[in-house]
């Protein structure tokens, strides 16, 4: 397998397809890099080098006991880009992975990047704090943690309903996709799955977004029941200096699956533009 090893000995797995300008993908919770297969295959067929990695604790990467914070995630991503000596990178993050993109830019700058993409991202703040009362209440995340600790498999099985929006009229997803994403999620360590909830619910990315000195595409569904558009994507597009917002009407959180054709075309147009 293709891996890099971090300073604390964690092995980070990545897949690397195609050739051309690099596009690097950071995945959402509780998935791994395989969630990007439709975007990766599409862009590789259109002449791009596509790279997706599994966050520490998820997929084929090591499962350390610690390091599940955004500074560490950003440093892991920086090591990947440095090790592969990637330049002119389009860096894309979904949901929790949008925080990886933001904190990477906040800590490491944009010297290796050309563009950024935030898809259903948890930026600028996901959870409610004193000066951000519109965020999601802490009780929601406490409920997630309790559900995971009690019966992770059953909790994730139920989470798919709001992730894919199948509780809305006309929103359907195949049994195959449900099985695929469930199996991916269960590969992760329980510790990493729990700690990442704490990380994405409690990290403030407002200062990171202000350092986005590059073209940025923000894509979000306006019926996202996991990461509410009004308090995340809409505001991220306002904070990033050179951002363009694209709203998918009626779309749920899982855009990479439910709206993959539209997303693929939007990504290709943005990368080319």
| Catalytic site residue from 76, 253, 259, 266 | 253
C-beta separation of 195 from 68 below 8 A = yes
46 is an active site residue:
no
114 is an active site residue:
no
The Cα-based distances of 258 to 9, 25, 232, 251 in angstroms read 36, 18, 20, 8
CB atoms closer than 10 angstroms to residue 16:
18
Q: Which helix (H) or strand (E) holds 52?
A: strand 49-53
Q: Which helix (H) or strand (E) holds 17?
A: strand 11-17
Q: How do beta strands 11-17 and 3-5 pair?
A: antiparallel
| Catalytic site residue from 26, 61, 62, 95 | 95
- Find, among 69, 97, 16, 35, the residue nearest to 254 by Cα: 35
| Catalytic site residue from 224, 236, 259, 266 | 224
201 is an active site residue:
no
Compute the distance between CA of residue 271 and CA of residue 182 in angstroms, rounded to an integer.
31
| Residues with catalytic roles | 95, 224, 253
């Amino acid at each position: 397998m293709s891996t890099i090893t971090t300073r604390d000995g964690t092995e980070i797995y990545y897949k690397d397809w195609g050739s051309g300008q690099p596009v690097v993908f950071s995945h959402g919770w509780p998935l791994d890099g395989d969630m990007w297969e439709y975007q990766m295959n599409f862009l590789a067929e259109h002449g791009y080098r596509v790279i997706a990695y599994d966050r520490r604790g998820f997929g084929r990467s090591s499962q350390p006991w610690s390091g599940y914070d955004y500074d560490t995630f950003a440093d892991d991503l920086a090591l990947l880009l440095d090790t592969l000596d990637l330049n002119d990178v389009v860096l894309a993050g979904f949901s929790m992975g949008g925080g990886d993109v933001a904190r990477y830019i906040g800590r490491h700058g944009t010297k290796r990047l050309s563009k950024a993409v935030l898809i259903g991202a948890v930026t600028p703040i996901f959870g409610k704090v004193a000066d951000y009362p519109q965020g999601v209440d802490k009780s929601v995340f406490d409920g997630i943690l309790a559900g995971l600790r009690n019966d992770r498999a059953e909790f994730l099985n139920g989470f798919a309903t709001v992730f894919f929006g199948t509780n809305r009229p006309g929103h359907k997803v195949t049994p195959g996709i449900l099985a695929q994403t469930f199996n991916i999620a269960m590969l992760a360590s329980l510790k990493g799955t729990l700690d990442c909830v704490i990380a994405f619910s409690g990290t403030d990315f407002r200062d990171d977004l202000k350092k986005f000195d590059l073209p940025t595409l923000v894509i979000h569904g306006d019926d996202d029941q996991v990461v509410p558009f009004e308090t995340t994507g809409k505001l991220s597009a306002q904070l990033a200096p050179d951002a363009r917002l694209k709203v998918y009407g009626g779309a749920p959180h899982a855009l990479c699956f439910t709206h993959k054709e539209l997303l693929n075309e939007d990504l290709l147009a943005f990368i080319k533009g």
